[in-house]
Amino acid sequence: MKSLAVLGAGGHGGVVAEIAELNGWQVVFFDDCYPSQRSVHEQWPVLGDYKALCADIDKYSGCFVAIGNNKVRLEKLNGLSVLGARIPVLVHPNSVISKYSSIEDGSVVMANAVVNPFVQIGKGCIVNTAATIDHDCVISDGVHLSPGVHLAGAAQVGMHSWIGIGASVRHDVRLGDSVIVGAGAAVVKDIQDEQTVVGVPAKNIEN
């Protein structure tokens, strides 16, 4: 059986592990909290930290990074890639992915998500439960679309951006890099890099 080393033994890691198993992988975890706070994660063993994974990379048929923080996830993914790890794309069997879309290594698509034709999804992205991405959207590396996010046609999402649960983005709108969209927001115009927006219509958060 092909073996998958998953970095990140948290809640997100558990969801990733189950999707991997549904695709025929046998999962073990690595986590920087090993061994003090993590030597098992639910029913999966935790075998070491990131350094240990780097040292043992040849032992595994594949590696996957299941860390929620977008920047850290992408950084670790690139690190493993440079070391020669094979990084798969993980797709839940109950998601719908157009054959005309593309998804790069280290991204995961969860249950009930829909990816329509001519969508491009970069490296290390999370398309979470029941998110939908409509035609011609471009999703850069390290993006997280939370559960129930809806992107209308030709929306663009910049690197490291995080769209919160249940938010919607109007067609043709462009979100810059490292943008955060709050839960339940409706984004109806372009958002510049590093902005956090909330509400309907979405506006800059007042902290």
Binding residues for substrate, by number, are 31-32, 68
Q: Which stretch binds ligand ACO (CB under 6 A): 16-24, 37-45, 58-66, 175-183?
A: 175-183
User: Are residues 150 and 132 in contact, defined by beta-carbon separation less than 8 angstroms?
Assistant: yes
Task: For 61-99, give the DSSP string.
Answer: SEEEE--SSHHHHHHHHHHHHHTT-----EE-TTSEE-T
Of the candidate residues 106, 148, 164, 176, the single one contacting ligand ACO (CB under 6 A)? 164
Q: Which stretch binds ligand ACO (CB under 6 A): 35-43, 47-55, 91-99, 193-201?
A: 193-201
Name the region of 75 (left: φ>0; alpha: ψ -120 to 50; beta: rest): alpha
User: Applying CB under 6 A, does 132 fall inside the site for ligand ACO?
Assistant: no
| Known catalytic residue at 41 | no
Of the candidate residues 116, 146, 168, 195, the single one contacting ligand ACO (CB under 6 A)? 146
Which residue, 36 or 207, has its beta carbon nearer to ligand ACO?
Answer: 207
**Comparing C-alpha atoms, which of 73, 64, 70, 18 is closest to residue 41?**
18
List the catalytic residues.
135
Positions that interact with ligand ACO (CB under 6 A):
128, 146-147, 164-165, 180, 182-184, 196, 198-199, 205, 207
